[in-house]
Amino acid sequence: MLAVAVVAIALAGLFYYRTYRMLKPRQWQTLLLLRSAAILIIVVLLFRPVFSYQRELADKPVLVFLVDTSASMSIADDASGTTRFNQARTQIEKWYERLKNDFHLQFIEFSERARPLSGIQELPSLRPDGQATSISRALTAAAEATKQLPRGALEAVVLVSDGGHNSAGDPLEVLPRVGVVHTVGVGASLRTSITYRDIQVTGIDCPDRMLLNNLVKIKGGVEGIGLGGRVIKVYLDEDGRQVAETELTLDDSEGPQEVSFEHRPNALGRRIYTIRAEVLAEEKIAENNQRSAAALVVEPGIRVLYIEGTARAEFGAIVERFLSKDPDLEFYALVQTRPNVFLRRTNMTGVDFQVIPSDAETIDKFDVFIIGDLDSSYIKPAQQELIVNRVRNRGGLLMLGGYRSLGPGGYAGTPVGEALPVILGDRDVGQITEPFLPTLTPDGARHPIFSNIAAFFPTQTDAEPKIPGLPPLDGCTRVLGAKPGATVLATYQAPEGPMPVLAVQPLGEGRTAVFCGDTTRKWHQVLRALDKETPFTRFWGQIVRWLAGRGGPVETGANVTASTDKAAYQPDEPVRITAVVRNQDGQGASGAKVIARIRGPAGRPDQVTLAPAVGPAGHYEGAFEPKTHGTYQIEVEATVGQITITSEKLVVEAGRTNLEFERLDLNEKLLARIASESRGRYVHISVADNLIDQLDRSQRKRRLVVERQLYWPPVLWTMFVAILTTEWILRKRFQLR
């Protein structure tokens, strides 16, 4: 900078001397002085010179305390009956008085998450109620809190904990970012004590999803320590209500003993199942005597196998207008195009066959079987036996009228024919070709199959239906009568007396039905063309549901129902949300805009867009990942055309309940390893005063570089303008250009 200034001023001096020699010396020297000052200002502004020097400073070292506030710290396992957390808090408060003059002290409380405290004054308000423990997040919080400190300013991080770590991250991976970590263990290594007595429920094996009214097994592990030979009671609770009980004789072997319960859930929705062992008087810790798990009780999906002998109009109506539109059903439809060659229609995945199945594994995948106008010669007796056996085990069977079904189809005396509720007759029994509306019997008028649609049909007391306009059937297949034990729901008024048109009966644990009529498609086509209400969808939907053991009426009107695949998840495990959206006709709605709104334990909202799912119409699916333990509420909103509808709220849990009480021993091994790998020390809290006394209290000296700038742009620019202005005035006065 000085060299540039000297050269510039020398050149300016030479210029002034040669150009303005006619002036008096004082005049051209004054101009040169002003120009030199301007040059110096410009050089200073360009080079921006600073003056720097070093200062030596002395600061207190920094000490960070990490305080465990997880639920396992609420255990009182010492002789005085003081909880682990109260022991830790009391000691830290004592240490604070001894350390505050020599250290900058920082405090961070942690359980699943870590939170810096404003100071020691917050310590009395803390409670050990965290539902999980993440030591790695505590160490990460310490690293973040100290990353701006000068090198060497951090004396150490002091971790005060029982060593429980059951949440996110690996503490050992975080250590390189932290520095020296001293660990202080709180609690006792319970199993090493000869006098220790404890019963612990070590696990619960509960299905994530249970089918309504289906028997399930729920297993658990129970371990007794120091109690060999004792007989205890173990209970199974559902939502806090005892549903089963057993006795267990404890052994002396290390490891859990298995207990098993059988249970049949009878209510839909989220259920909490708990296996608990009775608490004995000599036990110090009762919190680990139970373990809970959440399960979702759902209705099993209805799977329908529909087999037709010809591509008649009724087949198209049932498939297109009912099976493919009902969001509660999965179906596989086979229609014979030539002998033993079938065309298939389905919305099922994972099932693939081209002919009528002949193995029990495939047959057992279906809940309801519909057999249409198909001659019995195309279904082998062995195949019929498989179908009937499945029906006996809570399945359903429906045979429809046709020219090659029932008696005309040769089903009399076959396994399927014997299972039906009517007497079929032989192949020459014939057809009724006179149009008619089925007449409901008193049993039919109040049966679930005709729920909300009985007014469309005449009854034995009212010759005219209450809701007129339903087109008649074109006819029906003749049968000889109902079997003993059958219930006739609808009849044809023949001259010789009423003939069953719709009849039902139980078969083992399942149900069978016969509907002799044909052309129910007209119920849909004609009334829809006239923009009138039709019983078609509800009639078929309610028959299938009744056969499957679901007696409820078919949903009508726009609505959305939501569910999840489980009731409880681990953090970062995807929660899969499914929604069933129905339009104003109660059919599965395609093209709807479906959003799941989620509110987590911290109250922060989130949302997920659900996409159409493979399978039945109106099904949508999506997923999100819970980041923390706690309860999540889910509400699904669907927009169908101009209508917006919402589901009932779902509740799911992230993280296992009682997670903090699965392991209550002081984990000295982990704490010692954390200390060792960070060049720190591990001590038990009972002897930790020695560690505190040996901390380095000497002040940390450091050199601070101080810089002072030697330029002030506003002042220099003002001086520059003043100098040039003065030079210009003098040049005018000296009569220079």
pLDDT, tens digit, 9 for 90 and up, residues 345-376:
998 888 999 999 999 999 999 999 999 999 99
Q: How many CA atoms lie within 13 A of 446 on its CB side?
A: 2
**Model confidence at 276: pLDDT above 80:** yes
**Model confidence at 205: pLDDT above 90:** no
What's the pLDDT at 665?
A: 80
**Model confidence at 697: pLDDT above 80:** yes
What's the pLDDT at 700?
A: 62
Distances (CA, A) of 82 to 73, 76, 619: 10, 5, 55
Q: In terms of Cα–Cα distance, which of 591, 578, 474 is closest to 523?
A: 474
Query: Which range (80-84, 89-93, 309-313) has the least confidence?
Result: 80-84
What's the pLDDT at 484?
A: 93
Name the residue type at position 237: D
- CA 561 to chain centroid: 16
For a pLDDT cut of 90, what percent of the chain falls above it? 53
Q: Which two tokens stand for residue 10?
A: 């020398």
What's the pLDDT at 366?
A: 95
What's the pLDDT at 553?
A: 67
Judged on CB neighbours under 10 Å (0-12, 13-18, 19+), 109 is buried
What's the pLDDT at 274?
A: 92
Measure the CA–CA gap between 713 and 558, rounded to whole angstroms.
73
Query: Which range (111-120, 123-132, 209-218) has the least confidence?
Result: 209-218
What's the pLDDT at 704?
A: 66
Place of tokens 């770590």: 165
Measure the CA–CA gap between 300 and 549, rounded to whole angstroms.
10
Measure the CA–CA gap between 179 and 185, rounded to whole angstroms.
19
Q: Which two tokens stand for residue 441?
A: 């019997």
Query: Which range (193-197, 451-455, 556-560) has the least confidence?
Result: 193-197
For a pLDDT cut of 70, what percent of the chain falls above it? 96
What's the pLDDT at 283?
A: 80
**Model confidence at 632: pLDDT above 90:** no
Mean pLDDT across the chain? 88
**pLDDT digits over 162-198, tens only?**
999 988 789 999 999 999 999 999 988 765 566 678 8
Measure the CA–CA gap between 155 and 325, rounded to whole angstroms.
70
DSSP-derived letter for residue 451 is: T
What's the pLDDT at 370?
A: 97
**Residue 379, SS3 per DSSP:** coil
**Model confidence at 214: pLDDT above 90:** no
Sign of CA dihedral 223, 227, 229, 233: negative
Q: Residues near 718 by Cβ (< 8 Å), separated by ≥ 6?
A: none
Q: Which two tokens stand for residue 704?
A: 């601070």
What's the pLDDT at 85?
A: 95
Q: Which residues pair with 481 in a beta bridge?
A: 423
Average pLDDT over residues 586-606: 85
Query: Which range (16-30, 171-185, 288-302) has the least confidence?
Result: 16-30
Place of tokens 């039905």: 513
Q: How confident is the model at residue 554 (pLDDT cuts 50, 70, 90)?
A: low
Sign of CA dihedral 421, 425, 431, 437: negative
**Residue 469, SS3 per DSSP:** coil
Q: What's the distance, Cα to Cα, between the start and end of the chain in Å?
A: 31
What's the pLDDT at 603?
A: 72
Measure the CA–CA gap between 331 and 578, rounded to whole angstroms.
19
Place of tokens 């039906």: 420
**Model confidence at 702: pLDDT above 70:** no
Q: How confident is the model at residue 210 (pLDDT cuts 50, 70, 90)?
A: confident
